[in-house]
Structure 1
Amino acid sequence: MTTTDVPQVVSYREVTDKNGRVYRVGESDIDIMGRKRKWMVILPWVGMMGISSAEYAFASAEETIHQAHHWSENSIFWMLSVWVFFQAAVAFPAGRLRETGKLPARWAMMLGAVGTLMGYLSLAYAPHVILAFVGFGMFSGMGAGMVYATCVNMVGKWYPERKGGKTGFVNGGFAYGSVPFVFLFTTVMDLSNFKVILVTVGCFLALTVAVAGFFFQDPPKNWWPPHIDPLNPPDDPRARRSLEKNPPAVHQYSPSEAWKTGRVALMWFCLACTSGVNIFGIAFQVEIGEHAGFAAGIVATAMSLKAIVNGTGRGVIGWLSDLYGRKQCLLYVCVILGLAQFGIIWSAEIKNLPLFLFFSAVSGFGGGAIFPMFAAMTADYFGENNNATNYGMVYSSKLVSGLGSGMGAVVVTAWGLNGAFILAGSISFFAGFVALFLSPPGRPKNKRITPNPQPLGEETA
């Protein structure tokens, strides 16, 4: 005789804090999906690595693509801008579809895998540059945007009590996942084998995204880990410090409510500035290195170092933000990113290779660290339930910052590489100044809280 296990229905309860925010407690990660929630960090991390080379390794493949198809270099730089534009453009509508249940996480990842493959096929076989703009710029960009938004928001939902380090780790895959392909496109790919390499890489990365996404699953709305008391300071010192430095949102803000606070607009502007500087650096790091007389292999090393530090820096800054606060870390990142642009100019002018590698790494750190800061800060300010849509509004700033590649080419033509990098550094400093005005909505500022001159229990005359 055989027996059939009847699925056990796990009870849960909803508790409300003093601000009216609801927490769903009682269900563990294993109760919900049959495995520990760490898999919702590992799998999104793998998915992010699968889309990373389209942006970070693209500049390394630019010269071969230019020679193979005879497309102008400016057209190729604008192609990257179009890719970034559509990557950002899809974030808000995809987030809205995800939260209404019309686009499950698994299907968003599958669509992302298809877009990834179409992008590489277009770079290999497009008979005209317009088709490459459509295949790589539009379809690959939209696919990457779906994967990016799904992965980043997934980890924040499963780790609402200390999302900074986890979000940074997942976000880091978007950078250092491209490192093998930077070397492949720079040192191995040439006119005789570029089609085979591009198609092989496209198939491998599309399969990676699809397999990782197949196991995605969202937690229920308002879910909170059962071992963390949402109404009292937790026993876990890591969670306790993270919640003290980055308290959860006072309630779950809808997109319209989040926009009315004014914080979304400030985040949008800051991210537009800093990510534009990051994209400009990705596009022109190779060119300024070659202009300084460094060998192609050395420039590839600088790009790889930039990507590695860009990715690992996201995890590090996410962890630090759990300890010291998102806003404080964001301010430091803006300053570091700005200083790095001036360091790159200086090291290239004096042709000092160690300094060039150092400032490339610092620029990579600053350019990458901004993204997990805004991803985690959005959930901290507005809650997790609508985070895909709310972060989609913030992340849509890349619609503008994506011009960092195409407009960068225009600025370089007009002002030269030095002038363009000086402008980039100045923009980063200005973004840091604007970030000073960020604060969580619904919470009184410390300076507005005045002590009670007559505490309870003290007798008065």
Structure 2
Amino acid sequence: MTTTDLRTSASYREVTDANGRVYRVGETDIDIMGRKRRWMVILPWIGMMGISSAEYAFASAEDTLHEAHHWSSGSIYWMMTAWVFCQAAVAFPAGRLRESGRLPARWAMMLGSAGTLLGYLSLAFAPHVTLAFIGFGVFSGMGAGMVYATCVNMVGKWYPERRGGKTGFVNGGFAYGSVPFVFIFHGYMDTSNFRWVLVSAGVFLAATVAIAGFYFRDPPKNWWPAAVDPLNPPADPRARRSLEKNPPAVKQYSPMEAWKTGRVALMWFCLACTSGVNIFGIAFKVDIGEEAGFAAGIVATAMSLKAIVNGTGRGVIGWLSDLYGRKQCLLYVCAILGLAQFGIIWSAEIKNLPLFLVFSAVSGFGGGAIFPMFAALTADYFGENNNATNYGMVYSSKLVSGLGAGMGSVVVAAWGYSGAFTLAGCISIFAGFMALFLRPPGRPKDKRVTPNPRPLSEG
């Protein structure tokens, strides 16, 4: 792969649609960054895989960390909660810095790489659990938030005409990139080798994030692919159907304008509920499997299966949302995630391993698919120019949903696994009911999109 920091002087023009939205057309991806835009799918996908194990494989390392450092299980679960909290907390300020030009995408990825390395070093060498909280929970969480926000928003900017499948594919790296580390941390790492295993993983993953991020480049504001006419149905049937089912935002909403529509708050609530259920499942899938009497290797397999389906499900649901509509797919995902929680507790109670694996996979699909849906919906509703900040507001719901690990341990202690998983299922289904009220701002309730009668106007 070759790249250049010098943009060509390709001509462009700005056209305006009937709603007053401006599109910058005429420049190709090669004109802007010297390579095809598909690299802005591949590289963010790699970057997302580099941060995934910190969340998805962390539960598999819990036993070893407990034995090696003598940290309590509760402290370790709250450490994961701190990681999720900081990952979500950094999304909004990072988005503001990115859109102001003070934090280029490349530097956001470098900061994320440094945080990733520091997190693993803290788990390996921290002499006290408080330092591990700071190194892993705070710095690694903030670094992951930088990487996550940068990668997800990058792909949406380069594929505004059919972002669903591409966003889902990139988002999937956040899950199945952890699969090898689930087995390493759960089946291979022990008190005799945990330090060099954690350090090796940290160095490898930090390097992965840094190398991928070095080639990141944002498109210009209002950029639209030169081959796709923004004012008329595109010739590409894939792009045409995606735009029909998910029409672009009527204008580029500022964060304050987006908030005033009421959609951000509703999306925030729905994502808080569903991602909380997802994080709860990640934290306690190993424990409920072991309580049911399943072998440790089988439980690790269940976690890996959840991670694989979680990741691939993000890409599949993104592709389906381009075909059938983002909101419709989101409703199905909320229902699937909720029903899977009932299936997990039922299969564990009857000690049926095949069903346990099946419902773990289904839960993984639902838990992963919610994230690309909200990422794509945010850009669909509010535009691409301020998407890093707007999605940062929505994604900040993980400040609350991160309690799925810490508070989950409290609920399990009070109600047992049956009560906790039943509550999780009800929460997800309720979120799906609330999502029924989502509607693109500035558009009539009639979902039909009429052709734009105005000719191209140059600005």
TM-score (structure 2 length as normaliser): 0.96
For the pair 1:95 / 2:95, whether they are aligned, the reply is yes
Detail structure 1 runs of 4+ shifted over 2 Å in the superposition.
none
Partner of 2:251: 251
| Structure-2 separation of matches of 1:66 and 1:442 | 53
Which deviations, in whole Å up to 9, do the C-alpha atoms of 1:320-372 show, x marking residues without a partner? 00000000000000000000000001110111111000000000000000000
Partner of 1:185: 185
Partner of 1:321: 321
> Is the 8 Å Cα contact of residues 247 and 380 (structure 2) preserved in structure 1?
yes
> Is the 8 Å Cα contact of residues 26 and 226 (structure 2) preserved in structure 1?
yes
Partner of 1:49: 49
| Structure-2 separation of matches of 1:200 and 1:150 | 25
SS in 2 for 1:23: strand
- Compared CA separation, residues 240 and 413, structure 1 to 2 (3 A): same
Deviation of 1:8 (Å): 4.6
SS in 2 for 1:446: coil
Which deviations, in whole Å up to 9, do the C-alpha atoms of 1:51-91 show, x marking residues without a partner? 00000000000000000000000000000000000000000
Query: In the alignment, residue 266 of structure 1 is paired with which amino acid?
Result: L
> Is the 8 Å Cα contact of residues 7 and 33 (structure 2) preserved in structure 1?
no
Partner of 2:39: 39
| Structure-1 separation of matches of 2:56 and 2:236 | 37
Query: In the alignment, residue 439 of structure 1 is paired with which amino acid?
Result: R
| Structure-2 separation of matches of 1:288 and 1:330 | 28
Query: In the alignment, residue 293 of structure 1 is paired with which amino acid?
Result: G
SS in 2 for 1:415: helix
| Structure-2 separation of matches of 1:283 and 1:269 | 21
Which deviations, in whole Å up to 9, do the C-alpha atoms of 1:63-120 show, x marking residues without a partner? 0000000000000000000000000000000000000000000000000000000000
Partner of 1:216: 216
Partner of 2:72: 72
SS in 1 for 2:15: strand
- Compared CA separation, residues 448 and 225, structure 1 to 2 (3 A): closer
> Is the 8 Å Cα contact of residues 68 and 191 (structure 2) preserved in structure 1?
yes
Query: In the alignment, residue 273 of structure 2 is paired with which amino acid?
Result: C
> Is the 8 Å Cα contact of residues 7 and 31 (structure 2) preserved in structure 1?
no
Deviation of 1:7 (Å): 7.4
Partner of 2:3: none
Query: In the alignment, residue 162 of structure 2 is paired with which amino acid?
Result: R
Partner of 1:458: none
For the pair 1:174 / 2:174, whether they are aligned, the reply is yes
- Compared CA separation, residues 447 and 410, structure 1 to 2 (3 A): same
Partner of 2:452: none
5+ residue gaps, structure 1: 1-5, 450-461
Query: In the alignment, residue 332 of structure 1 is paired with which amino acid?
Result: Y
Partner of 1:452: none
Partner of 2:300: 300
1:403-414 correspondence to structure 2 within 5 Å:
403-414=403-414
Partner of 1:446: 446
1:16-31 correspondence to structure 2 within 5 Å:
16-31=16-31
- Compared CA separation, residues 437 and 46, structure 1 to 2 (3 A): same
Deviation of 1:270 (Å): 0.1
Partner of 1:383: 383
Larger Rg: 1
Deviation of 1:9 (Å): 1.2
Partner of 1:428: 428
* % identity of equivalent residues: 85
5+ residue gaps, structure 2: 1-5, 450-459
| Structure-2 separation of matches of 1:165 and 1:387 | 17
1:33-432 correspondence to structure 2 within 5 Å:
33-432=33-432
Query: In the alignment, residue 437 of structure 1 is paired with which amino acid?
Result: F
Deviation of 1:446 (Å): 1.4
Query: In the alignment, residue 241 of structure 1 is paired with which amino acid?
Result: R
Query: In the alignment, residue 90 of structure 2 is paired with which amino acid?
Result: V
- Root-mean-square deviation (CA), in Å? 1.1
TM-score (structure 1 length as normaliser): 0.95
Query: In the alignment, residue 275 of structure 1 is paired with which amino acid?
Result: S
| Structure-1 separation of matches of 2:137 and 2:8 | 47
| Structure-2 separation of matches of 1:346 and 1:53 | 28
Deviation of 1:388 (Å): 0.1
- Compared CA separation, residues 182 and 439, structure 1 to 2 (3 A): same
